[in-house]
Amino acid sequence: MSAILTRNSAQVLLLAVYPRNFWYIAAMSDEIGSTPFARKICDQRIVFYRKPDGQPVALQDYCPHRGLPLSKGKCEGRSIRCGYHGMLVNEYGECESMPQQPNVGRLAGIHCYPCKDNCGYIWVWVGDESGVDESSLPNMPWKNSNSISTSNSNPQWTFAGGVFHLNCDYRLLVDNLMDLSHETYVHPESIGQTEIDEAKPDVAFDGDNVIVERWMNNITPPPFWAGLYGSNEAVDRWQICRFYPPSNVHIDVGVAKAGSGAQSGNRSLGISGMVVGFITPESATSCWYFWGMARDFDVDDEALTERIYDGQKKIFYQDVGILEAQQENILQNPDRRLANLDIDSGGNHSRRIIEKLCSSE
């Protein structure tokens, strides 16, 4: 468990809580190259780069000499050279050499984090290294797709997505994705519609997964879905949100011809996608949001991929505005508690799983 105490201007104690013994996404694969790349993950400043063989490296962003962030230096082969007095630190975080300074090898090195390139993302492990388990890296069906590009090892799927930085507690974003009733108010011109409010979702559990499932049958599709479906005719619409640790939410979404049996498993007269949300805490009040959508229809239509990417980016950016304003207001009102209503059930159950995992660490 990580419990970091900080004080804001209102002298409120903030507790940053996140499980550490998990793989977190640190970056999209194409963000990391042979130039040092700095990013704070779970309150740890880390520098990322790729070695000449393409493998990613993640080191504590701190020069062992006088503390300059190594990200201000330059990569040299498998190592990184500090931009202040030229110390060379190798891929394991060891002091390798320094101009005019023999014996720097005896200095204490810096932390080297387990780091993997997997499914178009760079994953880092910030927890106890005795628990590192590469087999726990998610294996997604849209594996190897990358950024907005549609290069994909699985021809049945295509994917496009991006990353946002949010000034909010990552759990507010989990709440947001586990309760889609907000679509009616935050995204009225694209995916929102009043029928979302009228359809009560079911909440279920599967180990440490929480599932919130909502069906809206025989409704007019909202503009985003009408555009993809190519018709305004009545549809059955679904949203099946699944939280899984440490802080990921994937949402099975789609529409099918009304009454064609989608709810009983026949989606042949519909279209569906998987809204992908990987959330990485940065600090108590900020996080990285790796978002995207995978789909298994019209996978070769690159113009459609671009259109969905642009539409989703706009929609999620509306959420960013809400979540950052919400966080700011919460900090300004430290004596108030968040109210928990029925619609918060999925988010609250997810928070409880996060707390349980933190306690077990």
Residues that bind ligand FES (CB under 6 A): 63, 65-66, 68, 82, 84-87
Nearer residue to ligand FES within complex by CB, 92 or 185:
92
Nearer residue to Fe ion within complex by CB, 49 or 290:
290
DSSP helix/strand/coil, 302 = helix
Angle at 249 between CA 212 and CA 144, to 5 degrees: 135
Nearer residue to ligand FES within complex by CB, 97 or 118:
97
Residue number closest to Fe ion, CB atom: 319
Distance in Å, CB of 99 to ligand FES, minimum: 9
Site track for Fe ion across 268-307, x = CB under 5 A: ----------------------------------------
Are the C-beta atoms of 217 and 249 separated by less than 8 Å? no
Distance in Å, CB of 66 to ligand FES, minimum: 4
What does each C-alpha distance from 216 to 1, 63, 345 come to in angstroms?
39, 56, 19
- Residue 319 binding result from ligand FES, Fe ion, none, given CB thresholds of 5 to 8 Å by partner type: Fe ion
Distance in Å, CB of 110 to ligand FES, minimum: 11
Q: Does 319 interact with Fe ion (rule: CB under 5 A)? A: yes
What does each C-alpha distance from 230 to 216, 280, 304, 317 come to in angstroms?
19, 35, 12, 25
131: DSSP letter: G
- Residue 68 binding result from Fe ion, ligand FES, none, given CB thresholds of 5 to 8 Å by partner type: ligand FES
Distance in Å, CB of 188 to Fe ion, minimum: 11
**Contacts for 12-16: CB closer than 8 Å, 24+ residues apart:** 12/331, 12/334, 14/284, 14/285, 15/284, 16/43, 16/281, 16/283, 16/284
Distance in Å, CB of 115 to ligand FES, minimum: 22
- Residue 82 binding result from ligand FES, Fe ion, none, given CB thresholds of 5 to 8 Å by partner type: ligand FES
- Residue 66 binding result from Fe ion, ligand FES, none, given CB thresholds of 5 to 8 Å by partner type: ligand FES
Which range in 59-67, 72-80, 315-323, 334-342 contacts Fe ion by CB under 5 A? 315-323
Which range in 90-98, 130-138, 200-208, 311-319 contacts Fe ion by CB under 5 A? 311-319
Q: How far apart are CA 122 and CA 115, in angstroms?
A: 7
Are the C-beta atoms of 111 and 138 separated by less than 8 Å? no
- Sign of the C-alpha dihedral computed for residues 69, 75, 80 and 84 taken in this order: negative
- Sign of the C-alpha dihedral computed for residues 2, 21, 166 and 185 taken in this order: negative
Nearer residue to ligand FES within complex by CB, 66 or 165:
66
Reduced 3-state DSSP string for 220-245: CCCHHHHHHHCCCCCEEEEEEEEEEC
DSSP helix/strand/coil, 95 = strand
Query: For residue 70, which of 99, 43, 95 has the smallest C-alpha distance?
Result: 95
The 3-state DSSP composition of the chain as helix, strand, coil percent (nearest 5) reads 25, 35, 40
Nearer residue to ligand FES within complex by CB, 47 or 275:
47
- Residue 84 binding result from Fe ion, ligand FES, none, given CB thresholds of 5 to 8 Å by partner type: ligand FES
Nearer residue to Fe ion within complex by CB, 38 or 341:
341
Are the C-beta atoms of 131 and 21 separated by less than 8 Å? yes
Nearer residue to ligand FES within complex by CB, 96 or 236:
96
- Residue 356 binding result from Fe ion, ligand FES, none, given CB thresholds of 5 to 8 Å by partner type: none
- Residue 244 binding result from ligand FES, Fe ion, none, given CB thresholds of 5 to 8 Å by partner type: none
Question: What residues line the site for Fe ion (CB under 5 A)?
Answer: 319
